[in-house]
Structures are given as C-alpha cells and as structure tokens.
Amino acid sequence: MADLFRFTQDLLEDADVKINGRRPWDLQVHNDALFQRFFARGSLALGETYVEGWWDVSRLDEFFERVLRAGLEDRIKTVKGLIQLARVRLRNLQTPSRSFEVGLRHYDIGNNLYRCMLDSYMCYSCGYWKTAQTLEQAQQAKLELVCRKIDLKPGHRVLDIGCGWGGFAKFAAEHYGVEVVGVTISREQAGLAVQRCSGLPVKIHVADYRNIDEKFDRIVSIGMFEHVGRKNFETYMQAARRCLKESGLLLLHTIGKNRADTATDPWIDHYIFPNGDLPTLQQITKACESRFIIEDVHNFGSYYDPTLMAWFDNFEGTWESLRDQFDDRFYRMWKYYLLLCAGAFRARDLQLWQLVLAPNGVVGGYQRVN
C-alpha cells in the first residue's frame, strides 16, 4: 500500500497536484484503499470511489484540468481500459435495438433535473459564448448561429436529429417561420418537447435516425452524433444524405476527441452515457466521403467549459429542490460528471465541432458565419 501511495504521489506531482495538500485542486484522501482500487480499475474506480466518498477535491474541475493536461491517463493502462477500447473497436454498441438504452438511462431520469440545470430553451449542448455573459445568452446565440449557418428561410422543412426537449425546433419555428420534424430516442424528452412546442409547426417523434425516410430542406443534429458510434458513422451519413434535398444543408454539432485510439472514459460509459463513442474529425470526414462536401468546420470547444460550469452552478443552486427525487450519491455522481467534463474541455482534451455539409457543395462557395 505504501508503494502505491508513493507512486501516486510521484505521478500527481507532474500535474502539480498533492495528496492531502491545501490548494483547491489537491486530493483529499479519506480511505487509503483508494490507491489499490485505482491501480486495479483505473478511471472507473476513480469515479466510483469519489461517489462513495473515499476522496474529495474542493475544485474537481481544476483537478481534472491538471491531470488531463499532464497526460496522466496515458500512463495508467488497466485491463478494464483495454477491454473498453476493444469493445468499441470490435462491437457495434449502437445497433437499432441498443440505441434507446441511453435514452432510458440518461435522458429519461427526470425532466425536472434538466429544467433546473439548463436554460429556458433546455439546450443540452455547448453554448456559444463569443459575446454572451450568461448561459441563457450563450444558448440563444448558439441557436441563432445554427439557423444562420444553414441559411434558414421561412417555409423550409427542417429535420432535427436528436431534438432533445425541442429547444432548436421551438426557436427555429418561432424566429424563422420553418416547419420542424424532431426525432429523439427519449420518451421523456419527446413528451415535454411536444408540450413546449404546442401551437407551432413542429412534430416530435420517438424514433431511431436510421428509420427516417422523408425529404427536408435542412437538417440539424445538435449533440446527438456522440451516440452514433464508429461502426455507424457512415450509416448516419447515408441516412442524412437520403433525407436531404440536393440543394440542402446539414449542420452537425458534436463533441469530438483528438485521437481515434481511445475509448469513452469507462466511468462515463457505465454511469452517464452508455455506449457513447466520440468521433475524431478524421472519422467524420471519412464518413462524409462520396456523400457530402464539407463546406465549413468550426471548433469552439473552449466554450464547453463555461457551459458546463453554468450547468453545475444551476444544479448546485437547485439541489435542495431535487432531493425528493435523487439521493446524495446521485449528487456526487452528477457533480463528478459535470466537473470532469469541464476540466476535460478546459484542458482541450475534448473538442466541440460544428460542420456544415452540402450534398453537392454550395454554388459560388459557402459564406462562413460566426
């Protein structure tokens, strides 16, 4: 045990983190069995032991920013991590029969939680903070950016793949006079989206994207591609191409990673987003070959940090009102999830891309909007 403690201490020094130190990002250990469990099961054990109260950090986001910037995850290879990588490489974890699992286990856990955490449009994706000062402003700026990037016009028929609680559909219908068809794999999302879009030319369906077979002037997909999986990237692009008119535009908004030889963090996969698989930019572009011309790529991954911190502040600030639905273990789990992700984006370990795709290219060239 002493050897594991010293090894951990030496490892963390490279990230400027101390065990039982006094700074907000220093690790406070409450159970010395942490080290043995961590070296046996890696990041899965790190998250599990945090939820169980074996350790604490005053500022989890700062802790993870330092750990990820120092590349410590590459120096701890566990059997569990290798199995996770093999899983995503060898198996299709996002088949039609499995595609609804993330809806049941993540998006259906309670609309009230997301109402408390998100903005008034209930956008569960990165905001656009170029000039924004608040989460509300950042999310509306993102929705406006999306509409402008695809040159929305009154009368357009728009497909929203992964429509969530109807935030984009509501905004686009209200501000641009378009008709929107939204699809989601979450029944809870769909039910609330129907209510929120009542009276607007918006239809919401619980459906897998592979089953859509209609024609649209525009397609948007905001924060859904993360659930598609590398075995299905080309299938997704085929489905989108089938549904988009020859003169149409597709905006793809997705979290991405820097290296293809990595898998989703095992703790995130097990407890937060089952079967998720973040794409690399190369994987996206390969899936577009012979299907779309890539007109624009925009990386604003640094804006996910303030988005996640705002979500955490909202979650923390409304926690007392959520106690009837969730226990203290859930509080620690959700805190860990939000602040781990904030640290990852701050360290630029994760990215956020918006791509504008066209079946045949834009005549005369695409005019970038930002």
Q: Which of 101-105, 147-151, 211-215, 314-318 has the lowest mean pLDDT?
A: 101-105
Helices 328-346, 34-51: inter-axial angle, 10-degree rounding: 110
Q: Is the Cα dihedral 52, 57, 61, 66 positive or negative? A: negative
Q: Please determine, for residue 300, whether its predicted confidence score (pLDDT) is greater than 60.
A: yes
pLDDT at 96: 73
Nearest Cα to 112, choosing from 191, 215, 3? 191
pLDDT for 5: 84
What is d(CA 105, CA 233) in angstroms, rounded to the nearest whole number? 23
Residue 127 has pLDDT above 90, yes or no: yes
pLDDT tier, 3 (very low <50, low <70, confident <90, very high otherwise): confident
Supply 29's token pair: 């250990």
User: Sign (positive/negative) of CA torsion 171, 175, 310, 251?
Assistant: positive
Catalytic option among 147, 243, 288, 341: 341
Model confidence at 19: pLDDT above 90: yes
**Residue 197 annotated as catalytic:** no
For residue 232, give the DSSP letter. Answer: S
Q: What are phi and psi of 66, to 5 degrees?
A: -70, -45
- Compare 93 and 164 and report the one with higher pLDDT: 164
pLDDT at 79 over 50: no
Q: For residues 334 and 6, which has the higher predicted lDDT (pLDDT)?
A: 334
Q: Per-residue pLDDT for 271 more than 70?
A: yes
CA distance 275 to 88: 8
Kindly state the average pLDDT of the residues 334-348.
98
- Average pLDDT in the chain: 93
Alpha carbon of residue 78 to chain centroid: 25
Alpha-carbon distance of 351 to 345, in angstroms, equals 7
Whether pLDDT at 81 is above 80:
no
Lowest mean pLDDT among 12-16, 238-242, 354-358: 12-16
pLDDT score recorded for residue 91: 61
Over range 226-234, report the average pLDDT: 95
The structure's pTM equals: 0.94
Task: Let me know: does 206 contact 164? Beta carbons within 8 Å.
Answer: no
Q: How far apart are CA 167 and CA 14, in angstroms?
A: 42
Q: Look at 92 and 283; give whichever has higher pLDDT.
A: 283
- Specify the higher pLDDT residue, 10 or 17: 17
